[in-house]
């Protein structure tokens, strides 16, 4: 290797002060000749998916030094969406994606690191890390820390955090379960470190990261507490040094073909709707033109091959045992693009290495769970620039639905109405002014959606919002409505009692009003006062775009 980025702080007499500071941290003189590898770790005691990362940091470090590099660990913040849910904290979750990308960029550039291992796990942290990797375009590899094990209960029941705890509180409120059953759920839902056990946003993003070739095989599904994850961490540390020596950078991997593969795998598994936001934002940083409609176009030729929790029966541990991401790629082998990976082999070569697939978990394409992929993009006079629904979690009965609007200008107001019995069968709950600008921060609506299911209204009430949903959401819940209410989008013009029609098979979301009536209401609409007027979220609201573009921050 003739030149390294880190030469800017290690070579020449002019860098005497820099070397003095590096030696002060303990770097031996001879080690300054080696590639400097940053380990961007989002370890924190606050997030269950991240509490096990100190162990993985050690194995990454060992791998880096075995590979001939010198490692430096630095911290990246994270927010646990489950803990931030249902209060002011959720305003901060999506915006931290931008902070994370900016922080990784800042440290890598300021310290002239030659390469990065991005140790991550949860919802906004993984996409933030990937955005930074694509933006920096220096050698990077991602290690996602992995899912938790499911909890065990009576009669063989397996508990998962999202599905069980959020729906259990509504079941308790409705008298379906007692306090003892509620406590059993609370005590058993999170038995180990790791991300939530089903195909929620964290695990979906881990799978898509592996699919795109930015992490090693099985990284996306291997359990957080497994020895396999330790070995993957070690191999990733070793590999990044090789990437630096050969100048293999993210934009060589994150091609349009890679994003299309990720979308197909997402659709085939019925993954989180939040991946729409994240893939669009990562593609933008990678310089790849990825339109929102790509999800729908690919969805029509990508059958859903797995029944994954929350909408289905299998958990991440089942998918890993079935063969993980390589097994899904194998079943989709005639539909996916060949593309390079950081491992040094192409996607098709990974497919050829698959020896067996548990087809009870990952079905073949000629025997799908559903004929279409798990995510659908809806449009109409209510969402002219698009809306997103996780159709894999919607019952057949609710694939088409018409109901009367009940409008709420915040998540809190909607939750009060739901818990107070105000919402009844035949309603369409409208939660608005919760988009990227209006929230600000596009809060996740797991509490209202889980409450609908817990109250037994999942097959008789729809919910629409310019906010977003947890990967754990199931039921007829449509999010990302664009333009959002804070921009004067049609969702801001809905009034109580208006008729709203949902038609997922035909990709339609409409309000039964004429253009003239909508225009008249638009003429009277006035932008509300911002919900948050101080701090960095006030600045974020001024520069963030709507969900249809990935809720990215404009540079100008």
**In this structure, what token pair is assigned to residue 483?**
């333009």
Residue 129 lies in a domain: yes
pLDDT tens for residues 211-238? 999 999 999 999 999 999 999 999 999 9
Tell me if the bond preceding 310 is cis, omega within 30° of 0: yes
Final residue before a domain boundary, out of 320, 353, 386:
353
- Assess if residue 180 is contained within a domain: yes
86 & 212 share domain: yes
The CATH number of the domain holding residue 523 is 3.50.30.80
Q: Both 338 and 381 in a single domain? A: no
Q: Are residues 248 and 103 in the same domain?
A: yes
User: Does residue 457 contact residue 425 with C-beta atoms inside 8 Å?
Assistant: yes
C-alpha span between 396 and 65 (Å, rounded): 54
Burial class (CB within 10 angstroms; exposed 0-12, middle 13-18, buried 19+) of 356: exposed
3-state secondary structure of 232: helix
**What's the mean pLDDT when you consider all of the chain?**
93
H/E stretch holding 40: strand 36-41
Q: Residue 163: pLDDT above 90?
A: no
- Alpha-carbon span 492 to 484, nearest angstrom: 8
Which of 139, 166, 189 lies at the terminal end of a domain, its last residue? 189
CA 155 – CA 146 distance, rounded (Å): 27
pLDDT in tens, 509-552: 999 999 999 999 999 999 999 999 999 999 999 999 999 999 99
Q: Measured in whole angstroms, how far is the alpha carbon of residue 107 from the centre of its chain?
A: 24
* pLDDT digit string, tens, across residues 64-96: 999 999 999 999 999 998 888 878 899 999 999
User: Among residues 151, 121, 114, which one has the least CA distance to residue 136?
Assistant: 114
Tell me how crowded residue 233 is: count the other CB atoms within 10 A of its CB.
Answer: 29
Nearest to 221 by CA among 127, 322, 319: 319
Residues 406 and 458 in one domain: yes
Binding residues for Mg(2+): 81, 123-124, 444
> Across the strands, what pairs with 478?
389, 464
Assign 286 to helix, strand or coil: helix
Do residues 385 and 524 both lie within one domain? yes
DSSP string, 43-69: --TT-TTTTTHHHHHHHHHHHHHHHT-
29 domain residue, yes or no: no
Q: Are residues 263 and 385 both part of a single domain?
A: no
What per-residue confidence (pLDDT) applies to 177?
A: 86
User: 181: pLDDT confidence band, cut at 50, 70 and 90?
Assistant: confident
Is 148 catalytic? The answer is no
Residue 1's pLDDT band (boundaries 50, 70, 90)?
low
Instruction: With a cut of 80, say whether residue 153 has pLDDT above it.
Output: no
Q: How far apart are CA 181 and CA 60, in angstroms?
A: 41
Per-residue pLDDT averaged across 194-222, rounded?
93
181 with 321, same domain?
A: no
Among residues 353, 387, 416, the one where a domain terminates is 353
- pLDDT of 154 reads 59
**How far is it, in rounded angstroms, from Cα 132 to Cα 147?**
23
How many domains are there within the chain?
A: 3
From CA 470, how far away is CA 442, in angstroms rounded?
11
Which is catalytic among the residues 470, 482, 501, 508? 470
Sequence-ordered alpha helix ranges (H) in 309-427: 316-321, 324-331, 347-352, 411-419
Is 345 a residue whose pLDDT tops 90? yes
Residue 231: Cβ-neighbour burial (10 angstroms; 0-12, 13-18, 19+): middle
CATH number of the domain at 79, please.
Answer: 3.40.50.2300
Question: Does some domain include residue 123?
Answer: yes
Alpha carbon distance 202, 186 (integer Å): 21
Phi first, then psi, for residue 40 (nearest 5°) are -80, 105
Q: Distance of alpha carbon 118 from its chain centroid, rounded?
A: 16
Do 127 and 157 reside in the same domain of the chain?
Answer: no
How many Å apart are CA 258 and CA 215, to the nearest integer? 13
User: Both 177 and 245 in a single domain?
Assistant: no
CA distance 132 to 126: 10
Does residue 555 sit within a domain?
A: no
Q: 453: which 2 tokens?
A: 């299911």
Residue 15 inside a domain? The answer is no
Same domain assignment for residues 380 and 489: yes
For residues 84 and 160, state if they share a domain. no
Q: Classify residue 157 by its DSSP letter.
A: -
- Residue 2 covered by a domain: no
User: Is 554 inside a domain boundary?
Assistant: no
Strand partners, 120: 144
Higher-pLDDT residue of 184 and 26 is 26
Q: How much of the chain is in helix, strand and coil states, percent to nearest 5?
A: 45, 15, 40
Two structure tokens written together for 57 = 């940091």
Quickly tell me which residue has 């470190």 as its tokens.
193
Distance from chain centroid for Cα 412: 23
Whether 87 contacts 159, CB under 8 Å: no
- Rounded to whole angstroms, the Cα distance separating 383 from 491 reads 8
Torsion angle of alpha carbons 268, 134, 106, 21, nearest 10°? 110
256-276 pLDDT tens trace: 999 999 999 999 999 988 999
What does the alpha-carbon distance between residue 555 and residue 98 come to, in Å, rounded to a whole number?
Answer: 12
Q: Are residues 290 and 254 in the same domain?
A: yes
pLDDT at 103: 98
> Are 223 and 203 spatial neighbours (Cβ–Cβ below 8 Å)?
no
Identify the domain containing residue 309 by its residue range. 34-149+192-353
């Amino acid at each position: 290797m003739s030149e390294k980025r880190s030469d800017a702080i290690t070579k020449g007499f002019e860098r005497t002060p820099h070397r003095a500071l590096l030696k002060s941290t303990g770097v031996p003189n001879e080690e300054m000749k080696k590639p400097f590898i940053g380990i961007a770790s989002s370890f924190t005691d606050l997030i269950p998916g991240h509490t096990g990362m100190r162990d993985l940091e050690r194995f990454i470090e060992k791998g880096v030094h075995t590979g001939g590099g010198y490692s430096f660990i630095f911290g990246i913040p994270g927010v646990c969406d489950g803990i931030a849910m249902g209060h002011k904290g959720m305003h901060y979750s999506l915006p931290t994606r931008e902070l994370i990308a900016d922080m990784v960029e800042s440290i890598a550039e300021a310290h002239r690191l030659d390469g990065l291992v991005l140790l991550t796990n949860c919802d906004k942290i993984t996409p933030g890390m990937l955005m930074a990797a694509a933006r920096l375009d220096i050698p990077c590899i991602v290690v996602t820390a992995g899912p938790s094990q499911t909890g065990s209960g009576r009669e063989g029941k397996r508990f998962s955090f999202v599905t069980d705890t959020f729906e259990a509180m509504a079941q308790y409120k409705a008298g379906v379960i007692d306090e003892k059953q509620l406590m059993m759920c609370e005590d058993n839902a999170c038995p180990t470190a790791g991300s939530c056990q089903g195909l929620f946003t964290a695990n979906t993003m881990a799978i898509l990261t592996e699919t795109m070739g930015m992490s090693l095989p099985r990284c996306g599904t291997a359990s957080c507490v497994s020895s396999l994850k330790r070995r993957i961490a070690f191999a990733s540390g070793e590999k990044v040094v090789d990437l630096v020596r050969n100048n293999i950078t993210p934009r060589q991997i994150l091609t349009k073909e890679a994003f299309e593969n990720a979308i197909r795998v997402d659709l085939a598994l019925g993954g989180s709707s939040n991946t729409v936001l994240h893939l669009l934002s990562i593609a933008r940083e990678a310089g790849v033109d990825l339109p929102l409609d790509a999800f729908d176009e690919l969805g029509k030729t990508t059958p859903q091959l797995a029944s994954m929790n929350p909408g289905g029966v299998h958990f991440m541990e089942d998918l890993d045992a079935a063969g993980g991401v390589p097994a899904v790629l194998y079943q989709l082998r005639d539909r996916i693009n060949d593309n390079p990976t950081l491992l040094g082999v192409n996607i098709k070569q990974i497919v050829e290495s698959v020896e067996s697939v548990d087809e009870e978990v990952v079905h073949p394409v000629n025997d799908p769970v559903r004929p279409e992929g798990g995510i659908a993009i809806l449009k109409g006079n209510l969402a002219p620039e698009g809306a997103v629904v996780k159709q894999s979690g919607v019952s057949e009965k609710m694939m088409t639905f018409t109901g009367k609007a009940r409008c709420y200008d915040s998540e809190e107001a909607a939750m009060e109405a739901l818990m107070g019995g105000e919402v009844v069968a035949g309603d369409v709950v409208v939660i608005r002014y919760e988009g990227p600008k209006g929230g600000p921060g596009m809060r996740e609506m797991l509490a209202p959606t889980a409450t609908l299911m817990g109250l037994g209204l999942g097959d008789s009430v729809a919910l629409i919002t310019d906010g977003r949903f947890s990967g754990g959401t199931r039921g007829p819940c449509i999010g990302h409505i664009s333009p959002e209410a804070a921009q004067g989008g049609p969702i801001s013009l809905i009034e109580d009692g208006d008729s709203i029609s949902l038609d997922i098979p035909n990709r339609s979301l409409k309000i039964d009003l004429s253009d003239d009536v909508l225009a008249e209401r638009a003429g009277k609409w006035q932008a509300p006062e911002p919900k948050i007027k101080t701090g960095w979220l006030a600045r974020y609201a001024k520069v963030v775009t709507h969900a249809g573009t990935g809720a990215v921050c404009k540079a100008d």
